[in-house]
Structure 1
Amino acid sequence: MENKEYKRSFIVTGLTCINCVRRVEKALKSIEGVKFASVNLATSTGFIISEREITFKEIEEAVKSAGYGVSEEKLEDIEKKRYSQNKKNLIIAWFFTGPLIILMSLHMFSHHKIPYFSFLEAFLGGAVIFYAGKSTLRSAYIALSHKHSNMDVLVSIGAFVSWLTSILEILRFPIMSFGALGAMIMAFHVTGRFIETYIRDRAAKELKDLLKLQAKEVRILEGESEIYVPIKAVKKDSIAVVKPGEKIPIDGIIIEGKSLIDESTITGEPIPVLKKKGDEVIGGAFNLSGPLKIKITQVGEDTYLSKMIKLILEAQGTKVPIQAFADKITNIFVPLVIILSILSATFWYFNFYKLYPYLEKIKNFLPWIILTHNSLSFSVFVFISTLIIACPCALGLATPMALIKATGLAGKKGLLIKNAEAIQTSKELKVILTDKTGTLTEGNPKVVEHNLSEELLKIVASIEKNSHHPLANAISKLTENYLEIEKIEEIAGEGIKGVYKGKEYFIGKPKDDKIYESLLKDGKIIIEVRENNKILGYLAIEDPIREDSYKAIQKLKFLGIKIVMVTGDNYETANFVAKKLGIEEVFARIKPDEKLNIVRKYQGLENKVAFIGDGINDAPALKGADIGIAIGSGTDLAIESADIIIIKGGISKVVDMVILSQKTFSIIKQNLFWAFFYNLIAIPIAMMGFLNPLIAEIAMIFSSINVTLNSLRIKVL
């Protein structure tokens, strides 16, 4: 028996770069029982998979040991606080830096030098660095105290060393003051953080839209009166009243009324659906036309919308394989930059006077180069420039920003990505193995013919009422007067059996398809009924082909993907559907273990294989495929085994997934290219002394913003 896995998401506070993420992940993995740990820099979301239930206290202790914090607050609340704090830091930084820039300009270009300018520079620069930039300094201190480094270490050292030169000048040391430059470095860094926060929020817009759909109150029917109850206090089986034009607050079943329901914000389906008594409704959808009374069936984290948001957050917390490459680079990047900064500063200190004539000529073309007759001053200038230009923030954001946008957009379009690795793998698919019922067909079959007596029909419907198979619902609806059945047993890929009045009844696959040849040729699905292994009759079921299936299969073929039908149904029905849809390869009457063998067969030919299914019998194949895709209306086991869940619709959503994968991976590669290219070009220029630290800081900020804005280009599927 497979061991149970426990999953948990949470918010990590204080993260600034990929090295912070690495440190926290290492701490989380040290918790006993944790099998997998991942932290997303862009959303500050942590995610663990464990062999046992991990308490919040254990997570908190592990993360704190790495120098960071954990919060139980909602993501949107933390983002609001982060945005507010960054805005406050921005205002304070420029409140002091603005006057300092004006004073510095007057001091440099005026005939009358400003008295005590070094003191003003030290005071105003100190206010910016130590007050507005205190969160940056704190992050740098945490990193260094835990014997690792991050981008804040580079900025903090650069800004502090710049400010320190103003103190040294006051103390009459023979060195040029860069105090104002230190203030500007920190001010621009704080500005970059603010802009980055703002754009990150835009990147996560789709997830935020889903969060907004969660209601805060529910109008509950209490006797003859209506009262408003906080969503957290609502109990199952309560009756909610929803009027036309209102949002449906919570999951339930309509017990009175009918109305057009708009579920586009959740499922991506643009056309409103007419729902009436007995139909299920999802919290977050909109009631368009008529008053409804809804019996609440799910509350808290069990609601459809809550599960959906949780799955998106989990996907955003995991990583794609290409990110491992970027992580390896950034792990050694910051220490390497510090070494390069020291080496370049040392080189200039000992060779400054030899190279001075060349610097004078170059300054005619690069006026921002600071020339001084002091080798120590120019060495400090080069040291600061090299530190600042090399901040690896863009590298850290390159992949997670694209994943935030992609997973959020997919969720809005009706695709839930449980495993972010599926985003990278989808573009590499060569074979898609698909079940038939509920995937290529509507999954809403109806009994169109049968030869059973009224009594036998009641027995059959009562047994099928206990089944999770898509066809079972069609059969169970044939009666409203259900009988007491004993020893119910569902046989994956075969059917279901039960005992009534001492007799065992089996409802499922026929023993011999030839008996029903004429019905099967017409695309009917035949369910045979046997009593103590004796055939009593049959039911003929039709399941209409989804409207989007044909076009979707043609598009997938155009993308170079082979489509193979793998179904437990009989050959005639399977071939009838396959011929209509243009599927050339069909496996019929397949058992669950055989489905997995077929997956392995195609994987053995060095293909990336996806499997699409919705039943219990599909679970092994979903788990074994490179990508398991479950239909959202399927069984819990199928959904749990899948990497991607199609909330509503069929195989057309897989086309969306493949195209999304191609676009997302293209954006990730662009992000990583520009992040690496930027550092490859900029670091040598800074080491040669040709780059002003202020320009370096601005370039670093624009590199991070460019990566984030580029990720926002993932828009339409």
Structure 2
Amino acid sequence: MSFNATNVTQISISGMTCQNCARHATEALNAVPGVERVRLQLEPGSAEVFWATDQESDISKLEKTLEDVGFQCAQIAPAKFHRDTRSGKSRFSGWGLNLFLGGPVLILMMFGEWGMELGTSSNYRTFSFLFASLILFVAGSRFYRGAWQQLKKGRSNMDTLVSIGASSAYLFSIWGWISGKMVHLYFMETVGILTLISLGHWMEAKVSAKASSTLKSLMQLAPQRARRQEANGAFEEIDVSELYQGDLMEIRPGDQIPADGNIVEGKSSVDESMLTGESMPVEKSAGKKVYGATQNGQGRLLVRVVGLGEDTALARIIQVVEHAQNSRANIQRIGDKVSSVFVPVVVMLALITLFGWFVWPSGMQHISELIQPLLWSAPATESVLAAAVLHSVAVLIVACPCAMGLATPAAIMAGTNAAAARGILIRDGEALEKSGTITCLAFDKTGTLTQGKPEVAAFESFNESVDFDHVKKMTASLSAKSNH
């Protein structure tokens, strides 16, 4: 698709780690005065900002707005933006690196501690410390960066919980190792926290990347070349981005139509199934409108351009899909209401748990025993402090990732894109959420459920006196010259 470059700003955004981050960045950019619409992709961390026609692009506004919500952005050249988008560069490869490093290390540590019972071995403890340090500073770096960016703005997010939980287990284990006051160290748990949550982010990012590829395929429906009539009457093949309102373009038989326009000359039939779902070609003649990305039939057309880029019917379809992707289901709205206090509350609960187990261990142990049948058995601890830290870290980790913040946006994006690829446009996340309660569907026309291309399945004669073979030959002769 082509856009007026003066009204579009392409930027790269750093600091986004999940769909929740992407949604906050999108909402912040949409709130910038003069911005009409934002097309943001979590993978590979970029966005196109569309300004109103009477507004000039202002990168400084975007930088300040994103900085206020904990992200950084930089303007990038359109060529690099589209090259990165097409190349499929994806930041889920970063989560893949975390898994590549953390997965084998976690398996080795589990085998050593549980399989070979080396937990008290001096060599194993040294090995655990070294590898936990590697994973903490490599795999944990993304969580720490995200938490730090939010902390600078006086905010907190899911990265905050992961960072505090992993750091607590790691530092507590170092203290226990040096002091010699702990039998069991929690280096393996440090690696497990970062690896398993990286796995969740990797799965979410993979869904996002796959969904984005579906949206890209919609964008690529429009042809990239057009035949424009020049001043001397000759036709020259040009890039679609060089077309302007009022240009005359030639549509040859079998061509895809590059842009919306009105027919000036010619007669043909056009396949508009990608827009309407109607399988039968629509007859077109002078004065009729044609739409970009639809397929011309047998005739030659001369078309005057009336819609380009964001003003085409295809662009409006893409906008519907993007709106649905960025919309929120009811469960997300509930999450939004508690998100501002969710992380501080979890941290407070963790501190209360730490304090409770440290000051009143017998009472906390009694409570734990009462609800033990409902829970997975907790590991035995050799000291009051170990029990306090272990349970407080568990509170931090069990709260992350938040299902409303991560799973729901990924599900909406995957669902809307899967539907769009099948010709179904979903208005918003709320409509998708309510679709689970549907008990009846009504389809309005032929071609909605079928391809609209009937084939003869069987012959049957109801009059035994008629020569059936002769009838078949006559039928074949009649249909030989027909295109219907």
TM-score normalised per structure 1: 0.49
Within the alignment, does 1:156 sit opposite 2:157 as a pair?
no
Superposed displacement of residue 142, structure 1: 0.7
Q: 1:243 & 1:51 partners in 2: Cα distance?
A: 33
8 A contact 2:170–2:190 mirrored in 1 = yes
8 A contact 1:402–1:664 mirrored in 2 = no
Q: Structure 1 residues 204 and 97, CA, compared in 2 at 3 Å: closer, same or farther?
A: closer
- Once the two structures are overlaid, the 10-residue window that deviates more, 333-342 or 67-76, is 67-76
Task: Please name the residue that 2:70 is paired with.
Answer: 67
Q: 1:283 & 1:394 partners in 2: Cα distance?
A: 40
Q: Structure 1 residues 397 and 47, CA, compared in 2 at 3 Å: closer, same or farther?
A: farther
| TM-superposition CA deviations, 1:253-292 (whole Å, max 9, x none) | 4455544322222333333323244432211222344555
- Once the two structures are overlaid, the 10-residue window that deviates more, 235-244 or 46-55, is 46-55
| Aligned positions of 1:71-86 closer than 5 A | 84-86=90-92
- Aligned residue among 93, 108, 121 for 1:102: 108
Within the alignment, does 1:177 sit opposite 2:180 as a pair?
no
8 A contact 1:47–1:318 mirrored in 2 = no
Task: Please name the residue that 2:466 is paired with.
Answer: none
Q: Structure 1 residues 193 and 400, CA, compared in 2 at 3 Å: closer, same or farther?
A: closer
Task: Please name the residue that 1:305 is paired with.
Answer: 314
| TM-superposition CA deviations, 1:202-261 (whole Å, max 9, x none) | 556764442222333334466798754332223445454545554322223445554432
Which letter does structure 2 place at the counterpart of 1:102?
A: L
| TM-superposition CA deviations, 1:487-536 (whole Å, max 9, x none) | xxxxxxxxxxxxxxxxxxxxxxxxxxxxxxxxxxxxxxxxxxxxxxxxxx
Which letter does structure 2 place at the counterpart of 1:128?
A: I
Q: Structure 1 residues 209 and 136, CA, compared in 2 at 3 Å: closer, same or farther?
A: same
Q: Structure 1 residues 122 and 93, CA, compared in 2 at 3 Å: closer, same or farther?
A: farther
TM-score normalised per structure 2: 0.69
Task: Please name the residue that 1:271 is paired with.
Answer: 280
Structure 2: state its 5+ residue gaps.
1-6, 438-447, 450-484
- Aligned residue among 331, 338, 349 for 1:329: 338
| Aligned positions of 1:316-355 closer than 5 A | 316-317=325-326, 323-352=332-361
Within the alignment, does 1:281 sit opposite 2:275 as a pair?
no
Which letter does structure 1 place at the counterpart of 2:116?
A: S
Q: Structure 1 residues 226 and 208, CA, compared in 2 at 3 Å: closer, same or farther?
A: same
8 A contact 2:356–2:364 mirrored in 1 = no
Q: 2:181 & 2:95 partners in 1: Cα distance?
A: 33
Percent identity of equivalent pairs: 25
Q: 2:434 & 2:88 partners in 1: Cα distance?
A: 29
- Aligned residue among 657, 664, 670 for 2:433: 664
Q: 1:357 & 1:240 partners in 2: Cα distance?
A: 81
RMSD of aligned alpha carbons? 4.7
Which letter does structure 1 place at the counterpart of 2:15?
A: G
Task: Please name the residue that 2:97 is paired with.
Answer: 91
Which letter does structure 1 place at the counterpart of 2:143?
A: T
8 A contact 1:254–1:279 mirrored in 2 = yes
Task: Please name the residue that 1:591 is paired with.
Answer: none
Superposed displacement of residue 161, structure 1: 1.9
- 3-state SS of paired residue (1:135): helix
Superposed displacement of residue 140, structure 1: 1.0
8 A contact 2:29–2:66 mirrored in 1 = yes
- 3-state SS of paired residue (1:229): strand
Within the alignment, does 1:187 sit opposite 2:195 as a pair?
yes
Q: Structure 1 residues 349 and 148, CA, compared in 2 at 3 Å: closer, same or farther?
A: same
Task: Please name the residue that 1:533 is paired with.
Answer: none
Q: 2:129 & 2:170 partners in 1: Cα distance?
A: 7
Within the alignment, does 1:55 sit opposite 2:20 as a pair?
no
Which letter does structure 1 place at the counterpart of 2:60?
A: K
Superposed displacement of residue 148, structure 1: 0.9
Q: 1:27 & 1:407 partners in 2: Cα distance?
A: 22
Superposed displacement of residue 338, structure 1: 0.8
Q: Structure 1 residues 221 and 203, CA, compared in 2 at 3 Å: closer, same or farther?
A: same
Superposed displacement of residue 21, structure 1: 5.4
Superposed displacement of residue 143, structure 1: 1.0
- Aligned residue among 388, 399, 404 for 1:395: 404
- Once the two structures are overlaid, the 10-residue window that deviates more, 202-211 or 330-339, is 202-211
Task: Please name the residue that 2:257 is paired with.
Answer: 248
Q: Structure 1 residues 398 and 185, CA, compared in 2 at 3 Å: closer, same or farther?
A: closer
Which letter does structure 1 place at the counterpart of 2:380?
A: L
Q: 1:125 & 1:283 partners in 2: Cα distance?
A: 56
- Once the two structures are overlaid, the 10-residue window that deviates more, 72-81 or 130-139, is 72-81
Structure holding more strand per residue: 1
Q: Structure 1 residues 8 and 360, CA, compared in 2 at 3 Å: closer, same or farther?
A: same
| TM-superposition CA deviations, 1:442-491 (whole Å, max 9, x none) | xxxxxxxxxxxxxxxxxxxxxxxxxxxxxxxxxxxxxxxxxxxxxxxxxx
- 3-state SS of paired residue (2:307): coil
- Aligned residue among 160, 170, 175 for 1:168: 175
8 A contact 1:86–1:190 mirrored in 2 = no
Q: Structure 1 residues 280 and 97, CA, compared in 2 at 3 Å: closer, same or farther?
A: same
How many residues align? The count is 422
Task: Please name the residue that 2:129 is paired with.
Answer: 122
| TM-superposition CA deviations, 1:529-576 (whole Å, max 9, x none) | xxxxxxxxxxxxxxxxxxxxxxxxxxxxxxxxxxxxxxxxxxxxxxxx
Task: Please name the residue that 1:582 is paired with.
Answer: none
Q: Structure 1 residues 92 and 321, CA, compared in 2 at 3 Å: closer, same or farther?
A: closer
Task: Please name the residue that 1:468 is paired with.
Answer: none
Within the alignment, does 1:143 sit opposite 2:147 as a pair?
no
Q: Structure 1 residues 248 and 269, CA, compared in 2 at 3 Å: closer, same or farther?
A: same
Superposed displacement of residue 154, structure 1: 0.8
Superposed displacement of residue 94, structure 1: 2.8
- 3-state SS of paired residue (2:283): strand
| Aligned positions of 1:568-607 closer than 5 A | none
Q: Structure 1 residues 336 and 106, CA, compared in 2 at 3 Å: closer, same or farther?
A: same
Which letter does structure 2 place at the counterpart of 1:199?
A: V
Within the alignment, does 1:218 sit opposite 2:219 as a pair?
no
Which letter does structure 1 place at the counterpart of 2:202?
A: F
